[in-house]
């Protein structure tokens, strides 16, 4: 299998890019793939804490670029998955410390020993974003079913088209099926109709995501988490496996009514 | 507008986004579209009689394709003359 470089981006911040990267990478590692994640958000390093690897960082990507260490030395091995690594962003530098050609070179060096290289893009459409997409074979655009996130996703898709980066795929994150049912949230169909790109997954809003990032353990490892299931499905689709979309109809019935009464919903 | 007669919010979100995205993608403001329409009316009127009030110029989208669609009804008198 040849290696794939996948960049995860969104335009708007806070829609769940870093969560998506941590979960997709972990799900791919669970499937036995060799994975390297790169945090592309220079100056606002975050992927390390979401993956629970913040205490292991010695070198970062700027150290590699500026020749202070070898690429291997900046690759932090995951706690649970031997074949998964993180290359952290520099925290005290800015985005100008990295160029698009640096990213292309690093990915080229990683490719022979890696199945998936997943790059976490910073928010925005400036230098950091350009760096993050420079080496990408394919791009995943994350959005929320919400006006500002959809608008920014559309801008990003337009730029990717102009840059001839191929057709990006869409992840709709934090969809709340009960709100959609009430017609108080854009449905997945609405978002797809507006953006007009290929859908690779819908992730329901799920409080276990926060619990996972609190612990530094991506929720794909939790077999019961709905969002975890959605990310596992996306990871399968990235491997070319045809997985049906989850049924996201709001759960009804007595148990839900009790939870609602108890203030849990 | 009362609570019960109000459109549900997802419907207005979609309608508003449809408009905004069309203009974002083309980099054409509603004002520029108006002046394009005025220029078009002027140009066409040199050749054929049209009703400026009835002219509709809209940006439509089909997937990620954008299209400028013009509906320009001819004045009935000019149709008689042509026929």
Q: For the segment A206-234, what is each residue's pLDDT rounded down to a tens digit? A: 999 999 999 999 999 999 999 999 999 99
Write out the residues of chain B at the interface with chain A, using a CB-CB cutoff of 8 A. Answer: 8-11, 13-14, 16-18, 20-21, 24-25, 61, 63-64
d(CA A49, CA A97): 22
Q: What percent of chain A has pLDDT over 90?
A: 89
- Alpha-helical runs (H) found in A93-225: 100-110, 127-134, 147-162, 177-181, 188-195, 208-215
Q: A143, A172 in Cβ contact below 8 A?
A: yes
Q: For the segment A238-265, what is each residue's pLDDT rounded down to a tens digit? A: 999 999 999 988 766 555 666 556 655 4
Nearest CB neighbour to A147, from listed B17, B61, B64? B17
Q: Which domains does chain A carry?
A: 4-261 (3.40.50.300)
> How high is the pLDDT of residue A228?
97
Work out the pLDDT band at B83, boundaries 50, 70, 90.
Answer: very low
d(CA B59, CA B79): 27
Across the interface, whether the CB atoms of B64 and A180 are under 8 A apart is answered no
Across the interface, whether the CB atoms of B10 and A180 are under 8 A apart is answered yes
> How high is the pLDDT of residue A91?
94
> How high is the pLDDT of residue A130?
96
The residues near A176 (Cβ < 8 Å, ≥ 6 apart) are A145, A185, A204, A205
Q: A132, A103 in Cβ contact below 8 A?
A: yes
Domain coordinates in residue numbering, chain B? 30-82
d(CA A23, CA A77): 16
Query: What pTM was computed for the model?
Result: 0.88
* Choice between B76 and A16, residue whose per-residue pLDDT is larger: A16
> How high is the pLDDT of residue B28?
83
Q: For the segment A146-202, what is each residue's pLDDT rounded down to a tens digit? A: 999 999 999 999 999 999 898 999 999 999 999 999 999 999 999 999 999 999 999
């Amino acid at each position: 299998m040849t290696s794939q470089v996948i960049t995860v981006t969104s335009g708007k911040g806070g829609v769940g890019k870093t969560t998506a990267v941590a979960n997709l990478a972990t799900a791919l590692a669970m499937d036995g793939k060799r994975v390297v994640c790169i945090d592309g958000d220079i100056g606002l390093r975050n992927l390390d804490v979401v993956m629970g690897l913040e205490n292991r960082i010695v070198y970062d990507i700027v150290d590699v670029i500026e020749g202070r260490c070898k690429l291997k030395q900046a690759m932090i091995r995951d706690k649970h998955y031997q074949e998964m690594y993180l290359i952290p962003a520099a925290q005290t530098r800015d985005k100008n410390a990295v160029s698009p050609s640096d990213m292309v070179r690093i990915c080229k060096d990683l490719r022979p020993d890696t199945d998936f290289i997943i790059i976490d893009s910073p928010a925005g459409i400036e230098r950091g974003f350009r760096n993050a997409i420079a080496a990408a074979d394919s791009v995943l655009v994350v959005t929320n079913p919400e006006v500002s996130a959809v608008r920014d996703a559309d801008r990003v898709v337009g730029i990717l088209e102009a840059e001839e980066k191929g057709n990006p795929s869409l992840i709709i994150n934090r969809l709340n099926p009960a709100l959609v049912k009430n017609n108080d949230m854009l449905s997945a169909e609405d978002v797809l109709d507006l953006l007009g790109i290929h859908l690779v997954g819908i992730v329901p809003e799920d409080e276990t995501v926060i619990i996972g990032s609190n612990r530094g353990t991506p929720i794909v490892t939790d077999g019961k988490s709905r969002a975890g299931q959605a990310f596992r499905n996306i990871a399968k689709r990235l491997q070319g496996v045809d997985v049906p979309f989850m049924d996201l109809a709001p759960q009804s019935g007595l148990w839900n009514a009790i939870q609602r009464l108890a203030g849990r919903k | 507008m009362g609570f019960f007669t109000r459109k549900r919010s997802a419907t207005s979100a979609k309608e508003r986004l449809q408009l905004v995205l069309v203009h974002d993608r083309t980099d054409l403001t509603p004002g520029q579209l108006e002046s394009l329409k005025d220029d078009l009316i002027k140009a066409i009127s040199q050749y054929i009689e049209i009703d400026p009030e009835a002219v509709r110029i809209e940006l439509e989208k089909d997937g990620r394709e954008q299209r400028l669609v013009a509906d320009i009804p001819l004045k009935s008198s000019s149709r008689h003359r042509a026929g």
